[in-house]
């Protein structure tokens, strides 16, 4: 059984078809990258998989760990092990980052029938993961993402992923807004999470993140369809020739500007 099976997925937003029949299979232990120009539907795919309800699924099927993902609520998918690292992490004023993260962990543990973790047990776990991402502990006492720098927000996403230990992690444009040092640290954090029991789906516009997180498979998404799939070398080719180059796909990338 594959971890994630997407069959002919069609999605509409405000009467406009954004995804026009996506097919993709991801197995445990694999790292896939979905690349594509702005407006090709990458983020829509990520959000639909995370079960954001503002999108209308008009066709197709998605199985996550053998179950119908499209019937799950966002929190159910999360508890089953699906994690989305947000492109734009959201601020929650007045709630400390540590409390938020522990609440999330406990919601998942509860779902799995495990005991909830108290603050004392949580602290060493949190510290270990903070170290991995070279993050300062004082970020944990601040309100969730409030007045975090762009880089801090992205690192905070990966920190959450490291604590929550998902089965499938979807990284939505995690590299955007990161300088080269931060990019390296974030990639390190992600690479440390690679495991035979886990799959990672890296959604990105640029190839540079893939220098650090080397994928097993690269898929090119253009105008709502996966037009090409290949190994890591495909990313390099795209970087060189652009999405509009011959061979990159039948549809022109410029047909769907950002």
Between residues 24 and 85, which has the closer beta carbon with respect to other proteins?
A: 85
Is position 104 an interface residue for other proteins (rule: CB under 8 A)?
yes
The contact pattern for other proteins, residues 140-159, with x = CB under 8 A and - = no contact, is ---x----------------
Instruction: Give yes or no for residue 70 binding other proteins (CB under 8 A).
Output: no
Q: What SS3 state is found at 206?
A: coil
What string marks each residue from 189 to 218 as x (binds other proteins by CB under 8 A) or -?
A: ------------------------------
Cα–Cα distance measured from residue 181 to residue 6, given in angstroms and rounded to the nearest whole number: 35
Q: Point out which residues pair with 68 in neighbouring strands.
A: 63
What whole-number distance in Å separates Cα of residue 213 and Cα of residue 204? 11
3-state class (DSSP) for residue 210? helix
Helix (H/G/I), strand (E/B), else coil: 35: strand
> Which CB atom, from 79 or from 227, has the smaller least distance to other proteins?
79
Considering CB under 8 A, how many residues would be counted as binding other proteins? 30
d(CA 122, CA 102): 7
CA dihedral 208, 256, 224, 83 (to 10 degrees): 50
- Rounded (5°) CA angle 137-140-145: 125
| Minimal distance, residue 243 CB to other proteins, in Å | 28
Q: Interface residues for other proteins in 8-47 (CB under 8 A)?
A: none
Q: Which stretch, 14-22, 95-103, 206-214, 231-239, contacts other proteins (CB under 8 A)?
A: 95-103
Contact residue for other proteins among 31, 39, 83, 178 (CB under 8 A): 83
The answer to whether residue 164 forms part of the interface with other proteins (CB under 8 A) is yes
Q: Does 97 bind other proteins (CB under 8 A)?
A: no
Of 129, 144, 232, the C-alpha closest to 188 is 129
Closer Cβ to other proteins, 3 or 84, answer by number: 84
Which residue from 86, 122, 217, 243 is in contact with other proteins, where contact means CB under 8 A?
86
Q: Is 108 in the site for other proteins (CB under 8 A)?
A: yes
256 part of the interface to other proteins, by CB under 8 A: no
Q: Does 50 bind other proteins (CB under 8 A)?
A: yes
By CB under 8 A, tell whether 95 contacts other proteins. yes
Helix ranges (H only) for the chain are 42-49, 74-79, 97-111, 119-132, 150-164, 180-192, 209-212, 233-241
Q: Go through 225-240 and write b for each residue having 16 or more CB atoms within 10 A of its CB, e for each that does not.
A: bbbbeeebebbebbee
Note whether 78 binds other proteins by CB under 8 A. yes
Chain positions contacting other proteins, by CB under 8 A = 50-54, 73-75, 77-79, 83-84, 86, 89-95, 100, 103-104, 107-108, 111, 143, 160, 164
């Amino acid at each position: 059984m594959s971890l994630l099976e997407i069959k002919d997925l069609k999605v509409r937003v405000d009467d406009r078809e954004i995804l026009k029949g996506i097919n993709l299979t991801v197995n445990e232990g694999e790292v896939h990258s979905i690349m594509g120009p702005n407006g090709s539907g990458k983020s829509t795919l990520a959000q639909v998989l995370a079960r954001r309800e503002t999108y209308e699924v008009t066709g197709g099927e998605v199985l996550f760990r053998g179950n119908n993902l499209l019937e799950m609520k966002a929190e159910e998918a999360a508890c089953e092990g699906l994690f989305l690292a947000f492109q734009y992490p959201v601020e929650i004023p007045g709630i400390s980052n540590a409390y938020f993260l522990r609440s999330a962990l406990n919601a998942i543990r509860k779902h799995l029938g495990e005991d909830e973790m108290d603050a004392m047990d949580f602290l060493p776990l949190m510290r270990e993961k903070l170290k991995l991402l070279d993050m300062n502990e004082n970020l944990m006492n601040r309100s969730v993402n409030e007045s975090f720098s762009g880089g801090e927000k992205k690192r905070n996403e990966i920190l959450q992923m490291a604590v929550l230990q998902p089965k499938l992690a979807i990284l939505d444009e995690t590299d955007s807004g990161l300088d080269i040092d931060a990019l390296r640290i974030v990639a390190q954090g992600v690479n440390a999470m690679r495991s035979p029991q886990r799959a990672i789906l890296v959604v990105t516009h640029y190839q540079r993140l893939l220098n650090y997180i080397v994928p097993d498979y690269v898929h090119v998404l253009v105008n709502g369809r996966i037009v090409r799939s290949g190994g890591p070398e495909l990313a390099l080719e795209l970087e060189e020739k652009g999405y509009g180059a011959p061979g990159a796909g039948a549809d022109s990338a410029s047909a769907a500007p950002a």
